[in-house]
Each structure stands twice: as structure tokens, then as C-alpha cells.
A and B are shown apart, each in its own frame.
Chain A
Amino acid sequence: MASSEKKHTPLLHIVKRDPGTLTWGYKLLVRGIAILAALVVCGVLITLLTGENPVVVYGSMISGVFGTSRRVWNMLQGVAILLCVSLAVTPAFKMKFWNIGAEGQVLISGLACVAAMMFLGDVLPLGLLIVVMVAASVLAGMIWAVLPAIFKAYWNTNETLFTLMMNYVATQLVAYFLKVFVKNGSGVLTPMPEFGLPVIGGQAYLLNVLIVLVLTILVYVYLKFSKQGYEITIVGESENTARYIGINVKKVVIRTMLISGAVCGLAGLLLVGGTNHTISTTTVGGRGFTAIMVSWLGKFDPLYMVLTSFLIIFLEMGSQQVSTDFRISSSISSIVTGIILLFIIGCEFFLQYRVVFRKNRKENV
């Protein structure tokens, strides 16, 4: 290559890939390398912080998740709840509706559920009470989700910040009602397991896991095979196209957020009615935000999302075990999760673009 030509050719340049040309193996390879690299970085980090052998650290992580049958159940429960919230946000995200308010939607439905348990628990028979709990949770979630959707549909109000602010409104409402409900002023509501969802098969979390399993299949079918799912995809790809082929975009936005809110309501029900039997301002514990990651990493496909939510829960539980085993701060868990997420987000680059070095340039022109 002549030196004068070299001067005008950058060392490397970036070309967009045609999405059709990507093979399965390549996608898997890139993501696999990203996760592996992230694990190595996290391992090095923990080794530096604790001075332990990384292999021992990974061993501690695995034992934290699979070590005992109780831990396995905790893991399944964690995956189920996280997956449930992720399933809730998925239809909205597929529509490019940036709902970061799942946290608030789940929390407010938990509040509705706890209110039903407190005030109707002694009045209604258990069967009827559960029906009321389900209805209250789902309704509360729907209301919290549909408000931003209406304003987005009619006035194009920024939904990201609207839903974000709704989170804090929900948190403060819970804080307020905890002080009203709990007469001694401690703000801690005693659990009411007697009014919870029934325990089946002797396993406290089995019902939750089964409900989410069914929900996963339902959401998968809804998004993939129903007319409404198709409309969601079109609105997400291009609003103009959707309008052109006669889809009522406003209706789709509002309807999808109603569904999203309803599923968030179910997550609230499972968390409060099926797990904690009480509520606090941190009941949802950031799952609303993590769910966005799960959904996005799983490419909005409910079946992949099972894997991605498992990955997140594995990291969380595993690094908690590491923090107790090696006596380091439990915040290591969010550090590890953050690092892995950044690696996976970053690796998308290699799926969407191709880096072309100078010497290869001729053949690509």
C-alpha cells in the first residue's frame, strides 16, 4: 500500500453489520466471551480485595447458590420474582416505552395487597380474601402504569422520568401508610402469614415458581403469536409504519401498559401475599431496575429471560456468599452485578458493528 494512501485511511474503521448475517454460534461466542471476561475481572477484583485464591472465590459463589436445598429454593424464588417483574416490563420495552417505574408499580400493588390482608383478613373467608388480594394488587399496578401511558399517548410526555418519579411517590405512600397502619410508630408491620397465598407441596416458594412458569409461557405466546403482540412489535420498530398500516398507536400504548402494570401487580402479590406477608419501603429492593436489564439482555424474549434472570440471581446470591465467607462488604454484590452488566452491554457492539483494520480494507470495498 502506498504511503500517501495510508495517510488518508484510518487505522481501523467501523462498519455496521447486516443483522441477517449473524450466525447463532457467533452471537453465543461473543456473549460467552463477555460473561467469561466479566467473571475473570470480578474474580481478579475479589482476589485483590480479599487476598483469596480466585478458584476458592468461585467455589464459594457456587456453594452460595447450590450448596443446600434451602439455597436452591431461595435461588428459584429469587429467579421467579425477578423474572415476573421482567416479564411485566417486556411488552412495554418491546414497544420502546421506557418504563423504569416497575419498582413503584410492584410496590404499590404490594401495598394494595397488604391493605386487603389487614382490613379484610378477619372479615372474609380465605378463598374470597385471596380473590380480593389478587384484584387489589393487579388494579393498583395497572393504575400506576397507565397514568404515564395516557400522558405519553396523548401529549408525548417523557415516560422515563414520569415512571421514575412514580417510584418515589409509591415509596412515600408506603412509608406513610406504614406509619398509619402500625400504631406503635415503629414503621415495621408484623408479617401476617395466616392471610397469605396457600402453601402447596410443603414448599413455601413452590406456588410462586409455578405461577411465574405459567406466566412466562403466557407472555411468550402473547408476544410471539397474538395479534396484539404483533402490534407491539410494529409500534416498537416504527410508529409511522404502525400508523400507516392502521394501528391505533395510542390504544396500543395504553393497552400494553395496562398489561404491563397488571403483571407488575402479580409480582407485588407474589412478593407480599406469597413471600413476605408484610411490606416495607425496600420490599421490591431494586428489582424494578434489574428487571429492565434482564429483559433487555434476554432480547425481550421470555425464554431467554429465564436464563438472564438466573444469571443475575446467581451473581447476587453468589457474591453475598463471598461477602460472608471472606468478610467483605455485602456491597460487593452490586459491584459484581454492575461489572457483568457493563460487559454484556458493551459486547453488543461486536454484534452490531464490525471493526475493519486498514490492511483488510481493499477486500471490503
Chain B
Amino acid sequence: MLAFLVSAIRLGMTFLLGSTGETITEKAGHLNLGIPGVMCVGAACGCYAEYLYFTEVGIDIDPTLAILIPMLAALLGAAAMGLLFSFLTITLRANQNMTGLAITTLGVGMSEYIINEASIIFTKGSRYFRAPLLEIPELEWFGELFLGHGIFVYLALAIALITTYVLNKTRIGLHLRAVGENPATADAAGINVSLYRYVATCVGCGIAGLGGLSFIMDYLKGNWEYCVDAIGWLSIALVIFTVWKPNLAIIGSIVFGALYVASSYIPGVSFAGKELFKMLPYVVTILVLIFTSMRKNRDHQPPQSLGLSYFREER
């Protein structure tokens, strides 16, 4: 049971990073279906940087650098993909769904290429990411559940909470939401719509890229698997599941993580039955989609101009 929850939390943080990134982008009015590709690129860049760092220094490894270098690489690689998406959808006003899907195709291909250049085993690097941030005192289950995690769990929580604060309590957040709800009004109020959208998309992608890295380094213990994109799609679903609120996403992501890993921990599930269990997160998302659309609660709706490009002269 304890192992199940710990595993759910670890995987959940990947979803949390991915969905927080996507939430920031969507709050600015851009639906980025490229997140799966972006997360792949983030994961691959981070792993590749780790590989380069290890081959460079040999055995003389600095634990802080072993964490910071891959993170920075994941952040930059993913943000670069975000910049590409932003240029096409904001400056060139291309269709966001199409651009997103193309970015996903490109990102998945790029990540496979990058990973083939390095290796697919990063267990050595993974140890640094999974090293408990806090020393566990004699608290048994409590310690293991809340204190024994690696850096990514706390980083993800911090990012989600900061994002919630910035979106709801600061002027920048207010402007960002205005840009997503009604860009024409925001423009008239003197807010630089393009700038907000560019920054929101790139920051969002950077965070999602970290999520990709956390999936490989933390949850998979450094064993690369070619399924980061599936995690990315679930992260997008999580945004809707948690009605565009990163603080709710903390709970939501752990629920998703639990649903995703449930099949391995519930006793008595047959070999074939496991496959049915893996369907759960998707089915739950569909049910939530239906439920929220039927309720039509005004607080639970997507940003009004989500998915639409803004062109000033078209008013």
C-alpha cells in the first residue's frame, strides 16, 4: 500500500509538471497539443546532458551539478520547442491544433534521435535525482510518504503552488488571464498580448520539459522508455480534469498516478486484466469531461478565447 502511494506520487509529479505547463499556456489562450513532443524533447535533452556530463568528468561527479545540468538542458530544450510553437501560432497565426500535432511528431522523432546518440540507461544519473532531499527521521510511513522523495516531487509541488499564486493573486496573472479570456480587451488596456503569449508558452513548455525528465529520472529510475508522449497526452487531459487550476492538479495528478500504476499493485488482477486497468485514467478523464460539460459551471470553463489566434485588425 505504501509502495503504491509512493509510486503514485512520483508518477503524479510528472503529470503535475506537464499539466501546470499546459495550464499556463492555456490561460494565455493557446492550446498547445505539442506538449507530448515537448516533454519528449525535455526528457531527451536532459538525459543527453547527463550523459555528456558523466563522460566529461568521469568519476569525479558533483551531485548538485549532476542534477542542475540535466534540468537546465531539459528546460532550455523544451522552451526552444515552445519558442517554435509560439513563432508559428502567435507571429504567423498558424492553426494551433495543427502546429501542436506537428510539434509532437517532430518532438517524438527528435527525442528518439537524441537518445540513440547517448544510451538508454541513466540509472547512475537517476540516483542523484532520487536521493532524498530531506533526511528521513524516525517517522516510518509518514516520512516515507512525505519526506523521502527526490528533488522533483518538491520542485513540482513548488511550481504548481507558485503558478496558482501568480495566476490568481498578481497583476501579471491577471493580465495573463485577460489575454486568454479576451485578447482584444487586454490589448485595449495596454497589455502586450503577443509578449504575454510568447512568455507563457515558453515557460509552460519549459516546465513540461522538466516533467518529461522527471518521468525518466525519477519514476522510471533512469531507464528510458519510448512512452513519454502518452504521458504528455494524459497531462493535457489532466488540465481539463482539474478545470485549469494547478492547485487542484496536485490532487488530480496523484489520482492519475494512482490510476496509472494501480494494475501493478492490486492483487489478483490477471495478466490480461492489467491492460483493462491501464484504461482507467482515460475513462475517468472522459467521464470528467462529460460531467463538467453537463454542469456548465462558469468557474469550470476553459479560457474563452482558447485556441484562437489574435489579430488586432480583425475586430
Contact = CB atoms under 8 A, between A and B. Distances in A.
A44 interface: no
Interface residues of A, number: 50
A331 B109 contact: yes
7 contacts: A100-B33, A160-B97, A168-B282, A175-B275, A175-B278, A342-B99, A345-B94
Given A168-B233, A337-B105, A341-B105, A292 B98 contact: yes
Interface string B108-127: 11101100110000000000
Contact of B103 (A151, A166, A333, A338): A338
Interface stretch (A206-214, A250-258, A301-309, A347-355): A347-355
A165 B237 contact: yes
A155 B294 contact: yes
Contacts of A160: 31, 33, 97
A312 B254 CA distance: 39
Nearest to B280: A172
A332 interface: yes
A269 B19 CA distance: 36
A156 B293 CA distance: 6
Interface residues of B, number: 49
Contact of A329 (B94, B113, B279, B282): B113
Interface in A154-176: 155-158, 160-162, 164-166, 168-169, 172-173, 175-176
B102 A162 contact: no
Contacts of B94: 345-346, 348-349
B140 interface: no
A331 B106 contact: no
A331 B278 contact: no
Contact of A353 (B93, B109, B285): B93
Interface in A164-200: 164-166, 168-169, 172-173, 175-176, 179-180, 185
Of B31, B97, B109, B278, the most chain A CB neighbours within 10 A belong to B109
Contacts of A353: 93, 311
Nearest to A331: B112
A161 B289 contact: yes
B104 to A, nearest CB: 8
B101 interface: yes
Interface in B270-315: 271-273, 275-276, 278-279, 282-283, 285-286, 289-290, 293-294, 302, 311, 313-314
B84 interface: yes
Given A155-B294, A160-B97, A179-B275, A293 B286 contact: no
B230 interface: yes
